[in-house]
C-alpha cells in the first residue's frame, strides 16, 4: 500500500486512495490532524501529536516542535538528555502516522509519497526522504505541496486550459506557485516562497502585542509561562478572525493578566508579515512572465489561510475571491494520496503528466575577467536557472583561467547570489586538462536535473573527450543504507505510546496542565476528578475508566474552550 503524507510544520496528515476517492486516515485519537510535536521522557517513551503538545506546558525541556523549519540543517535538539536531528524527529511523526494507517487499513504500509514545500532546496528534500527511510518507509516520490493541492482540487480533470496561483501559507513555511493546465499536463510555471514564514509568526505577533500592552519583557517569563503565553496567543489569533476584538488572558505566577486586543491593532502589528507575503507573489508572477489578471483561479491551502486577516489581504491583493471549497489543512495530503494512486497505476485515477520546476538556480563557481589580465574569483555561473521546467539538461562551456592549468574543478552550487560563497554547496569533481595558455583548453559542464531532485553532473574536456560524471545526492549529509539501518536500530529503543493508551495519557496530561494554570476552587475541583480517573486506571476496569474519563473531560471542557 502506498499512502500520501503531508509532513507539516504544525500538523501532519496521512491519506490513502479508496473506492470513493482520496480519504484522510484518522489517527489513534480519531482526529485527522496530528500535531507535528514530539516529546521524549526520561524512560525513552515517545509522545507524538496532541499528548506531546500538552507536555510542552509541563515539561518544556522534553518537547520539540516546528522542527520542519530546520530540516536539512545540523541543528541538534536535546529532549530529556537525548540528541535528535530534525529529520529524526520528523521520522518519529512519520512512524506514528504509519502505525495509525496500518491499524486503520489492516495491512502493512511500505511506501509513501511525501509532500514538501515547493521552495525546499536540495538539502531539505533529501532530509525529508531520510526521515521517511528512518520511519521504515520507501520514499521514491516527493511532490511539491502546491502541485499536490492542485491535484486534490481536481484541476487536472478540468475540460479547459486554466492558469492558477496556489497560495500555500502553513504553520511555518510559505509557498506561491503558478501552475498551468493544458490537456492532461499540469505544469508548474514558477515557484517562490519563504521557508521561515507561516502561521506561527502571526501567533508570535499576537504574543508580542499582549506583552507590549502589559509592559512585560518576554525574558522575565519562565519557560512554562512562555509556553502558556503562546498557547493563549494562538487561541486569540483564531478568535479575532470572527470578532472586532478579543480578550487575551494569561497566568503569570499567581496573577491572571488580561488585555483587550482589537482587530485593527492586530492588523497593524501584522503589516510587516503581510508585506513579506507580497514579495514572493510578485516574484513568481515575474518569473512566469504573467500579470495578476492572467490568473484564472487562486487556491488557498495551509491552515494559516483561515485567518480573516490573511484572506482580507489576499482579496485586496488579487482583486478576486480565492477558491476555498476544500479544507486547507487537508488538501495537500489528499493530493499526495492521488499521486500515490497514480504511482500504483490505479485504473480509477486519470493519468496526468505532472511537471515541476527547479526551485533554485543550479550553477558552478567561476573566475570572471573584468579587465584585461585581471580576474575576480568566486563568482557564480548559472547553468540551470530557477523555475526551469524539469527534467532539464543544460550545458555551459568553461575555459581555463591560468597558464599551464592542469585541472578544472567544478563546484556544484545552488542559489541565487552572484557570489559562490553565498550559495548552497552540493558537491564537486575535478578533471585533468592538457597544459597550455589560459583560455586554450575548455570543458563542457552539463547539468541534468530530474523530478526526484537528483542532479547528474558531467564534465567533458573538449580537446581530449575525457569525461567525468557524478550524481549529486547531497553526499556531505547523505546517509548510506547501512547508516540508516544503524540509526533505525538506535531509535528502536524509543517506544511510541500504544494506541489504546494514548487517549488516557492525553486526558491526564491536559488535566495536569490545566491544574497548574488553575487557582483556588477551580484547582480543587480538577484535583478531585483527576484523582478519580487515576483510581479507575489503577483498577483496570474498562467501563469504569471510560466513565471517569468522560467525567474528567467534561470538567476540562468547562475550563477550556477548544
201-210 pLDDT, tens digit per residue, is 999 999 999 9
Model-wide pTM > 0.85 = no
Looking at residues 136-141, what average pLDDT do you find?
88
Q: Do residues 200 and 234 lie in contact, with contact meaning Cβ atoms separated by under 8 Å?
A: no
The residues assigned a catalytic role are 6, 68, 145, 168
Q: Where are the alpha helices (DSSP H) in 411-561?
A: 481-491, 499-517, 520-539, 542-559
**Is residue 36 predicted with pLDDT exceeding 90?**
yes
**Helix intervals (H) in 20-141:** 50-58, 86-105, 122-134
Instruction: Report percent pLDDT > 70 for the chain.
Output: 91
In the predicted model, what is the mean pLDDT of residues 144-148?
87
> Residue 562: its pLDDT value, please?
35
User: What pLDDT shows up at residue 201?
Assistant: 94
Task: Count the Cβ atoms, other than its own, within 10 Å of residue 121.
Answer: 20
Nearest to residue 147, comparing CAs of 288, 325, 352, 306? 352
pLDDT in tens, 394-426: 999 999 988 899 999 999 998 888 899 989 888
Q: Read out DSSP for 147-196?
A: HHHHHHTTGGG-SS-EEEEEEEE-SS-EEEEEEEEETTEEEEEEEEEETT
What mean pLDDT, rounded, does the chain reach?
87
Cα–Cα dist 220/479, whole Å: 42
pLDDT at 510 over 50: yes
Nearest to 29 by CA among 540, 498, 556: 498
Does 145 have pLDDT greater than 70? yes
- In the predicted model, what is the mean pLDDT of residues 500-525? 83
Residue 359 is placed in which grid cell? 526551485
Q: What is the pLDDT of residues 67-112, one digit of tens each?
A: 999 998 889 999 999 999 999 999 999 999 999 999 999 999 999 9
Query: pLDDT by residue (tens digit) across 257-303?
Result: 999 999 999 999 999 999 999 989 998 998 888 998 899 889 999 98
Starting at the edge strand that comes first in sequence, how are the strands of the sheet with 374-384 ordered?
374-384, 362-371, 407-414, 424-432
In the predicted model, what is the mean pLDDT of residues 361-372? 84
Check pLDDT > 50 for residue 49. yes
Predicted confidence at residue 305, as pLDDT, reads 93
Average pLDDT over residues 387-394: 83
As a whole number of angstroms, the distance between CA 398 and CA 104 comes to 56
Amino acid at each position: 500500500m502506498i499512502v500520501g503524507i503531508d509532513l507539516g510544520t504544525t500538523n501532519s496528515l496521512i491519506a490513502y486512495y479508496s473506492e470513493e476517492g482520496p480519504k484522510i486516515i484518522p489517527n489513534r485519537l480519531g482526529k485527522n490532524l496530528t500535531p507535528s510535536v514530539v516529546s521524549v521522557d526520561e524512560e525513552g517513551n515517545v509522545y507524538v501529536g496532541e499528548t506531546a503538545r500538552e507536555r510542552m506546558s509541563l515539561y518544556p525541556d522534553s518537547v520539540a516542535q516546528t522542527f520542519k523549519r530546520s530540516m536539512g540543517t545540523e541543528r541538534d535538539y536535546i529532549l530529556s538528555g537525548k540528541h535528535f536531528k530534525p529529520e529524526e524527529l520528523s521520522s518519529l511523526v512519520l512512524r506514528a502516522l504509519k502505525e495509525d494507517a496500518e491499524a486503520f487499513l489492516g495491512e502493512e504500509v511500505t511506501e509513501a509519497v511525501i509532500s514538501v514545500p515547493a521552495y525546499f532546496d536540495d538539502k531539505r528534500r533529501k532530509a525529508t526522504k531520510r526521515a521517511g527511510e528512518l520511519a521504515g518507509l520507501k520514499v521514491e516520490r516527493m511532490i511539491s505541496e502546491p502541485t499536490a493541492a492542485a491535484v486534490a482540487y481536481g484541476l487536472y480533470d478540468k475540460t479547459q486550459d486554466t492558469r492558477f496561483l496556489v497560495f500555500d501559507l502553513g504553520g511555518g513555511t510559505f509557498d506561491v506557485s503558478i501552475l498551468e493546465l493544458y490537456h492532461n499536463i499540469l505544469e508548474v510555471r514558477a515557484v517562490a516562497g519563504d521557508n521561515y514564514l507561516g502561521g506561527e509568526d502571526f501567533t508570535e505577533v499576537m504574543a508580542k502585542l499582549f506583552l507590549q500592552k502589559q509592559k512585560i519583557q518576554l525574558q522575565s517569563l519562565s519557560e512554562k509561562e512562555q509556553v502558556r503565553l503562546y498557547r493563549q496567543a494562538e487561541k486569540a489569533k483564531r478568535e479575532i478572525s470572527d470578532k472586532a476584538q478579543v480578550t487575551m488572558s494569561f497566568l503569570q505566577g499567581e496573577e491572571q493578566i488580561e488585555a483587550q486586543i482589537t482587530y485593527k491593532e492586530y492588523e497593524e502589528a501584522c503589516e510587516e508579515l503581510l508585506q513579506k507575503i507580497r514579495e514572493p507573489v510578485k516574484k513568481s508572477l515575474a518569473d512566469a512572465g504573467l500579470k495578476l489578471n492572467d490568473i484564472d483561479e487562486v487556491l488557498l491551502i495551509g491552515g494559516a489561510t483561515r485567518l480573516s486577516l490573511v484572506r482580507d489581504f489576499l482579496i485586496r491583493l488579487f482583486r478576486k475571491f480565492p477558491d476555498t471549497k476544500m479544507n486547507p489543512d487537508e488538501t495537500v495530503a489528499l493530493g499526495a494520496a492521488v499521486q500515490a494512486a497514480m504511482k500504483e497505476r490505479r485504473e480509477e485515477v486519470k493519468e496526468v503528466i505532472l511537471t515541476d520546476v527547479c526551485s533554485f538556480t543550479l550553477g558552478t563557481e567561476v573566475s570572471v575577467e573584468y579587465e584585461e589580465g585581471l580576474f575576480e574569483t568566486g563568482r557564480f555561473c548559472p547553468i540551470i536557472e530557477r523555475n526551469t521546467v524539469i527534467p532539464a539538461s543544460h550545458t555551459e562551456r568553461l575555459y581555463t583561467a591560468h597558464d599551464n592549468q592542469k585541472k578544472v574543478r567544478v563546484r556544484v552550487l545552488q542559489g541565487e547570489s552572484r557570489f559562490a560563497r553565498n550559495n548552497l554547496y552540493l558537491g564537486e569533481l575535478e578533471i585533468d586538462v592538457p597544459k597550455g595558455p589560459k583560455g586554450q583548453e575548455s570543458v563542457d559542464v552539463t547539468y541534468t536535473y530530474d523530478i526526484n531532485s537528483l542532479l547528474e553532473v558531467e564534465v567533458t574536456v573538449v580537446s581530449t573527450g575525457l569525461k567525468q560524471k557524478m550524481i549529486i545526492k547531497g553526499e556531505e549529509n547523505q546517509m548510506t543504507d547501512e547508516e540508516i539501518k544503524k540509526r533505525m536500530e538506535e531509535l528502536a529503543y524509543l517506544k511510541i505510546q500504544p494506541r489504546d493508551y494514548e487517549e488516557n495519557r492525553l486526558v491526564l496530561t491536559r488535566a495536569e496542565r490545566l491544574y497548574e494554570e488553575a487557582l483556588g476552587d477551580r484547582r480543587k475541583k480538577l484535583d478531585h476528578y483527576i484523582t478519580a480517573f487515576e483510581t479507575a486506571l489503577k483498577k483496570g476496569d474498562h467501563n469504569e475508566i471510560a466513565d471517569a474519563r468522560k467525567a474528567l473531560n467534561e470538567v476540562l471542557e468547562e475550563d477550556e474552550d477548544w
